[in-house]
């Protein structure tokens, strides 16, 4: 069976989703990030993971992560942090981020069943060129370390790294990461009843008018 890993940071003003400011205040950006994380944790709650890990950057983990092993992220770039997370796993492991609150359990369900014999890795591309999910049958941090992160071609490099290592990769649907306010409105429209959408709506119409004028 499969280990579930959620990578997240503490949702403090000025520490998360700073590219949403402006038009959001730093406090609103942190509130939206917290809603995104809670939606993500709620979406995966029913998945039959053998172990649940929150790879966390912060001091106080969210209450919704009860039952998770809370592991601090190591120092270094994102590639180093992701690599260390996978190095700490035995057996199949799937890592997802906190920035795609539209994710559903149905999308991830195949990763928590018996993996097909012809699948060594699962890869979830993000619309911005990154990736939102990575699953490895045999976790190995060296498959990630050295991949340039937070670029428009990060996903391309990561997928190439997997395939160059001879892994047979199954693709997941493309999802939208919330990096900018335009992304936030796209995701809220995709999941209109989510905590994320409700939080964004609660900020009022000003933010949308700031983007579109």
Q: Which two tokens stand for residue 120?
A: 């060594």
pTM of the model: 0.94
pLDDT at 204: 84
Mean pLDDT of 171-177: 98
pLDDT at 185: 97
Mean pLDDT of 153-178: 98
User: In this prediction, what percent of the chain has a pLDDT beyond 70?
Assistant: 96
| Sign of torsion over alpha carbons 25, 40, 93, 69 | positive
**8 Å CB contact between 88 and 128:** no
pLDDT at 110: 97
Mean pLDDT of 156-181: 98
- As a whole number of angstroms, the distance between CA 55 and CA 66 comes to 13
Buried b (16+ CB within 10 A) or exposed e, 148-166: ebeeeebbbbbbebbeeee
- As a whole number of angstroms, the distance between CA 90 and CA 141 comes to 12
Mean pLDDT of 33-48: 98
Question: H or E element: which one contains 32?
Answer: helix 26-43
Mean pLDDT of 6-34: 97
Domain 3-212 has CATH 3.90.550.10: yes
User: In this prediction, what percent of the chain has a pLDDT beyond 90?
Assistant: 95
**8 Å CB contact between 138 and 72:** no
Mean pLDDT of 191-208: 86
| pLDDT band with cut points at 50, 70 and 90 for residue 211 | very low
- As a whole number of angstroms, the distance between CA 12 and CA 140 comes to 31
Angle between helices 181-190 and 195-202 (to 10 degrees): 130
Mean pLDDT of 175-198: 97
Give the domain ranges of the chain: 3-212
Whether the pLDDT of residue 34 is over 50: the answer is yes
| pLDDT band with cut points at 50, 70 and 90 for residue 126 | very high
pLDDT at 1: 84
Read off the pLDDT of residues 50-104 as tens digits, 9 standing for 90 and up.
999 999 999 999 999 999 999 999 999 999 999 999 999 999 999 999 999 999 9
- Look over the chain and give the mean of its residue pLDDT values, rounded to a whole number: 95
pLDDT at 99: 97
- As a whole number of angstroms, the distance between CA 104 and CA 39 comes to 9
């Amino acid at each position: 069976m499969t280990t579930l890993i959620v990578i997240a940071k503490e949702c403090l003003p000025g520490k998360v989703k700073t590219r949403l400011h402006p038009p959001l205040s730093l406090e609103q950006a942190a509130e939206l990030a917290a809603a995104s994380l809670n939606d993500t944790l709620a979406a995966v709650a029913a998945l039959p993971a053998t172990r649940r890990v929150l790879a966390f950057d912060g001091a106080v983990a969210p209450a919704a992560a009860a039952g998770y092993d809370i592991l601090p992220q190591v120092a270094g770039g994102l590639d180093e942090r992701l690599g260390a997370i996978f190095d700490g796993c035995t057996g199949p492991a799937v890592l997802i981020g906190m920035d795609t609150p539209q994710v559903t359990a149905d999308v991830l369900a195949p990763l928590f069943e018996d993996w097909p014999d012809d699948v060594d890795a699962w890869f979830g591309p993000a619309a911005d060129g990154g990736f939102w999910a990575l699953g490895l049958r045999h976790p190995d941090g060296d498959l990630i370390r050295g991949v340039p992160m937070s670029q428009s071609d990060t996903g391309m490099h990561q997928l190439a790294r997997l395939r160059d290592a001879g892994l047979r990769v199954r693709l997941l649907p493309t999802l939208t990461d919330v990096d900018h306010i335009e992304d936030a409105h796209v995701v809220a429209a995709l999941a209109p009843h989510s905590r994320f959408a409700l939080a964004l709506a609660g900020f009022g119409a000003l933010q949308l008018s700031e983007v579109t004028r």
